[in-house]
Amino acid sequence: GQSLEQPSEVTAVEGAIVQINCTYQTSGFYGLSWYQQHDGGAPTFLSYNGLDGLEETGRFSSFLSRSDSYGYLLLQELQMKDSASYFCAVPNQAGTALIFGKGTTLSVSS
Amino acid sequence: SAVISQKPSRDICQRGTSLTIQCQVDSQVTMMFWYRQQPGQSLTLIATANQGSEATYESGFVIDKFPISRPNLTFSTLTVSNMSPEDSSIYLCSVALGGLHEQYFGPGTRLTVT
């Protein structure tokens, strides 16, 4: 089956850089996605890595190493509004739906 | 992207009753999903509801308890039947655009069963 591991909590200060790691175990691999969810809100899609390497979208970047079954989300120039939960996700074994990690709660302080 | 609405946004129901949650999308999509999320927890997939086929349920979820309809490419319903307090949760629908990895979620339905 599929399983994902990510830290439960991360804290940082405004302007800093934070990295949220995600390790996964899958029987087949179709890529790693990242979602952001603010308290009381719906998850929103942030980024996707289908191949090894770094994908950059503004202040956010995501990295994947398929040989290590590992990826991370990098958030730069942190702002208070980045305080949220971040989920990594991979497709299920059949490739028909996403399985989400338990989420990492990021708290940004001033 | 897609704009997704859900009705109701929240409800308080008595045990033993049923609630139907509606999910409306502003564009035609094939892949639609229903999730459940406890506050502060991860998303648990209930079922995949692709138009033109029967819903596929995940382990631990059965059609008698969570019947799903998908009459067209822009709409779906999830019914939570014979509710118990354990069904209290946030229920979210999502659609996949441009691939499974890129999903867009509705605002959720917060259900409390007393």
Mean pLDDT of A15-29: 92
From the list A31, A43, A95, the residue facing B105 with the nearest CB is A43
Which tokens belong to B92?
């979210």
Q: Answer positive or negative: Cα dihedral of A98, B99, B74, B70.
A: negative
From CA A9, how far away is CA A7, in angstroms rounded? 6
Question: How confident is the model at residue B98, as a pLDDT?
Answer: 80
Question: Residue B99 — very low, low, confident or very high, per pLDDT cuts 50/70/90?
Answer: confident
Residue B92: how many other CB atoms lie within 10 Å:
25
For B58-93, how does the pLDDT look when each residue is reduced to its tens digit (9 = 90+)?
A: 999 999 999 999 999 999 999 999 999 999 999 999
Q: Is A30 helix (H, G, I), strand (E, B) or coil?
A: coil
Instruction: Tell me the mean pLDDT in the region A43-69.
Output: 95
Predicted local distance difference test score (pLDDT) of residue B1: 83
Q: Which residues of B touch A41 (CB under 8 A)?
A: 107
Name the β-bridge partners of B22: B7, B77
Q: Is it the case that residue A28 has pLDDT exceeding 80?
A: no
Residue A66's pLDDT is: 93
Return the percentage of chain A with pLDDT > 70, whole number: 100
- Report the pLDDT value the prediction gives residue A94, as an integer from 0 to 100: 84
pLDDT confidence of A27, banded at 50, 70, 90?
confident
pLDDT of B34 reads 98
Residues A57 and A70: their CA atoms lie apart, in Å, by: 19
Element (H, E) at B80: strand B75-80
pLDDT at site A110:
93
B9: left (phi over 0), alpha (psi -120 to 50) or beta: alpha
At CB < 8 Å, which residues of chain A contact B? Answer: 30-31, 33, 35, 41-45, 48, 50, 87, 89, 91-92, 95-103
Give residue-wise pLDDT tens across range B19-63: 999 999 999 999 999 999 998 899 999 999 988 889 999 999 999
A96, A102, A104: which to substitute to probe chain B, counting the most B Cβ within 10 Å? A96
Tokens of B74: 């822009």
pLDDT of B38 reads 94
